[in-house]
C-alpha cells in the first residue's frame, strides 16, 4: 500500500505538482524571510497588513497586564465544544458586534465557526435535505465543493459568473424542489474577479431561492466599514447566509455567518462542524474583536490598496501581460505546471515571494501566479516586478 503512495508522489514531482510545506520566518510588514532571504510577500492573504503590524499586536498584548481575568480574556484553550463547556461571554460579545455591524435593524444574528472551511462544510449540509437543490458557481472555493459533497441535497454547478445559465437552471428545476440555494463567492480567490450580486439577488427573489454568499476575500476590503462586497453594493439585507472569515484580511482565524434567528438556532442544533469541535480559545476571540473594530476605520488602507492594484495591472498590461480580475488579487496564468514552478523560483531569487498555484487548486492547463497585494506595500516595492515577469515569460515561450 505504501508503495502506491510513493509512486503517486513520484508522479506528482515529475509533472511539477508536488506540494511541500515551506517554513517562513522574520515577518516585517509585507516582507518575510524564506530560505534565509528577505522577500516581498506576494502570496499572503494579509490584505490590510494587520498580521504584519507589530505595533497593533503589542497594543493587544499590553492588555494582558491590566486584565482582571487572564484566562477569560487571553486563555489559550477552550478545552471543550461550545455546546459543552467551551462557550464564553467573549464569543457572544463578538457575535453581537458582528450582527450589529451587518444589521442595524437587528433582524440578523451572527454565529461563529472555527474557520471558513468549518463554515462551508457545516452550514449547507445542516440546512438542506434530499428534497432540496444547490446551484453553485463552478469556481467556488474547494471548501464549498466539499460542503456540497457532504450534503444530502442535489447540487448542480453553473459556469463561472454565467447568470444566464443560472437562470435557466432555476427555471427548469425550481418547481421540483422544496428549497433551492444559490451559492457564490463575492470575490473569487484564484481569479480576483467579482460576482454580480445585484443579478444574484434578482434571481433569488424571482425564483424564491435562498442566497449563500462567501465573502472570505472581501471582508475588510470593500464597503464603507469593510464589511464586504454586499455592503459596497447595498445588498446585505438580501443575503440569507453571509459567510465571512477572520483568517484573511482580519489576520486571525475563525469565521462567521450572518443569518436569521431561526437559521442560527437550527445550525446550533444540526451543524456538525460547529457541534463536534473544540471552541476557539479566548485569546483568539479577543483578538478578533479588536481587529474587527479596527478594520472598520481602515478606509484609507482600502483606498490605497485599490490604487496599488490598479497601478500594477496597468504596468503589467504595458508589458502585454494579461492581468485579469479587478481586485487586489491579480492572477497571471502561465499554463504549464513545471514552467510555473521554474519561474516562481526565479522570482524568489529576485526577492519576490511568489509560489506557483497548480491544479487541482485551479483548472487543468491554468497553472498561475496569484499576486496578492496588501495595504502595507508601496508602488516602490512592486515597480520592478512587471519587467521581470515579462522577461521570464518571453524566455519561457522561446524555450
191 vs 395, more confident: 191
Question: Which residues are identified as catalytic?
Answer: 45, 141, 185, 189, 214, 217, 248
**All domains in the chain, ordered by first residue:** 18-48+299-398 (3.90.1150.10), 65-295 (3.40.640.10)
pLDDT at 106: 62
Q: How far is it, in rounded angstroms, from Cα 301 to Cα 42?
A: 17
Q: How far is it, in rounded angstroms, from Cα 207 to Cα 205?
A: 6
Inform me whether the pLDDT recorded for 104 exceeds 70.
no
Cβ neighbours for 369, distance < 8 A, ≥ 6 positions apart: 42, 331, 332, 334, 340, 343, 344, 347, 354, 356, 357
Inform me whether the pLDDT recorded for 396 exceeds 80.
no
Per the structure block, which three cell numbers stand in for 10? 513520484
pLDDT at 69: 87
Q: How far is it, in rounded angstroms, from Cα 91 to Cα 70?
A: 16
Taking CA atoms, 47 is separated from 8, 89, 176, 183, 191, in Å, by 35, 29, 42, 24, 16
**DSSP code for 194:** B
pLDDT in tens, 271-303: 999 999 999 999 999 999 999 999 999 999 999
Q: Cα 9 vs. chain centroid, distance in angstroms?
A: 28
Task: Annotate 179-190 with DSSP letters as a single string.
Answer: -EEEEEESB-TT
pLDDT in tens, 301-339: 999 999 999 999 999 999 999 888 899 999 999 988 999
Inform me whether the pLDDT recorded for 47 exceeds 80.
yes
In the chain, % of residues over pLDDT 70: 98
pLDDT in tens, 212-242: 999 999 999 999 999 999 999 999 999 999 9
Q: Cα 157 vs. chain centroid, distance in angstroms?
A: 20
Q: Average pLDDT of the chain?
A: 94
pLDDT in tens, 9-39: 899 988 888 898 999 998 999 999 999 999 9
The two most distant CA atoms of the chain are separated, in Å, by 66
pTM: 0.95
The confidence band for 397, taking pLDDT boundaries of 50, 70 and 90, is confident
213: which strand partners?
184, 242
Inform me whether the pLDDT recorded for 160 exceeds 90.
yes
388: which strand partners?
none
Inform me whether the pLDDT recorded for 80 exceeds 80.
yes
Burial 279-309 (b: 16+ CB within 10 A, else e): bbbbbbbbbbbbbbebbbebeebbebbbebb
Cβ 367 vs Cβ 360: under 8 Å:
no
pLDDT in tens, 235-278: 999 999 999 999 999 999 999 999 999 999 999 999 999 999 99
> In what helix (H) or strand (E) does residue 81 lie, and over which residues does it extend?
none
Taking CA atoms, 192 is separated from 200, 293, 375, in Å, by 18, 26, 16
Task: Annotate 11-77 with DSSP letters as a single string.
Answer: HHHHTT--------EEEETTEEEETTEEEEE-S---TTS-TT-HHHHHHHHHHHHH-S-HHHHH-S-
371: which strand partners?
330
Please, how many CA atoms are within 13 Å of residue 24, restricted to the half-sphere of its CB?
16
The confidence band for 185, taking pLDDT boundaries of 50, 70 and 90, is very high
Inform me whether the pLDDT recorded for 57 exceeds 90.
yes
pLDDT at 40: 97
Per the structure block, which three cell numbers stand in for 385? 516586478
Amino acid at each position: 500500500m505504501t508503495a502506491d503512495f510513493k509512486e503517486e508522489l513520484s508522479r506528482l514531482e515529475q509533472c511539477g505538482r508536488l506540494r511541500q510545506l515551506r517554513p517562513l520566518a522574520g515577518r516585517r510588514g509585507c516582507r518575510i524571510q524564506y530560505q534565509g532571504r528577505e522577500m516581498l510577500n506576494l502570496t499572503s492573504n494579509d490584505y490590510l497588513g494587520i498580521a504584519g503590524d507589530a505595533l497593533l499586536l503589542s497594543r493587544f498584548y499590553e492588555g494582558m497586564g491590566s486584565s482582571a481575568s487572564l484566562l477569560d480574556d487571553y486563555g489559550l484553550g477552550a478545552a471543550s465544544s461550545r455546546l459543552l463547556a467551551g462557550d464564553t461571554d467573549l464569543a457572544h460579545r463578538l457575535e453581537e458586534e458582528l450582527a450589529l455591524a451587518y444589521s442595524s435593524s437587528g433582524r440578523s444574528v451572527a454565529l461563529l465557526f472555527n474557520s471558513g472551511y468549518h463554515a462551508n462544510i457545516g452550514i449547507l449540509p445542516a440546512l438542506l435535505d434530499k428534497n432540496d437543490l444547490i446551484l453553485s458557481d463552478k469556481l467556488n472555493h474547494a471548501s464549498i465543493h466539499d460542503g456540497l459533497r457532504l450534503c444530502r441535497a442535489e447540487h448542480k454547478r453553473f459556469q463561472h459568473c454565467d447568470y444566464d445559465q443560472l437562470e435557466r437552471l432555476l427555471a427548469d428545476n425550481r418547481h421540483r424542489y422544496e428549497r433551492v440555494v444559490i451559492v457564490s463567492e463575492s470575490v473569487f480567490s484564484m481569479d480576483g474577479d467579482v460576482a454580480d450580486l445585484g443579478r444574484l439577488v434578482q434571481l433569488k427573489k424571482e425564483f424564491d431561492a435562498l442566497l449563500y454568499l462567501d465573502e472570505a476575500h472581501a471582508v475588510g476590503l470593500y464597503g464603507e466599514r469593510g464589511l464586504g462586497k454586499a455592503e459596497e453594493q447595498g445588498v446585505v439585507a438580501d443575503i440569507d447566509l453571509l459567510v465571512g472569515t477572520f483568517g484573511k484580511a482580519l489576520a486571525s482565524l475563525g469565521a462567521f455567518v450572518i443569518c436569521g434567528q431561526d437559521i442560527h438556532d437550527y445550525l446550533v442544533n444540526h451543524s456538525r462542524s460547529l457541534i463536534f469541535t473544540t471552541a476557539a480559545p479566548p485569546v483568539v476571540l479577543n483578538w478578533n474583536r479588536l481587529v474587527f473594530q479596527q478594520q472598520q476605520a481602515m478606509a484609507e488602507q482600502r483606498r490605497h490598496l485599490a490604487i496599488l492594484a490598479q497601478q500594477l495591472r496597468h504596468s503589467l498590461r504595458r508589458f502585454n501581460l494579461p492581468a485579469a480580475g479587478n481586485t487586489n488579487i491579480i492572477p497571471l496564468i502561465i499554463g504549464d505546471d513545471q514552467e510555473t514552478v521554474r519561474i516562481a523560483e526565479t522570482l524568489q531569487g529576485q526577492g519576490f515571494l511568489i509560489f506557483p498555484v497548480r491544479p487541482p487548486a485551479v483548472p487543468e492547463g491554468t497553472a498561475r501566479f496569484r499576486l496578492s497585494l496588501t495595504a502595507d506595500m508601496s508602488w516602490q516595492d512592486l515597480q520592478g516586478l512587471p519587467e521581470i515577469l515579462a522577461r521570464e515569460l518571453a524566455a519561457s515561450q522561446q524555450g
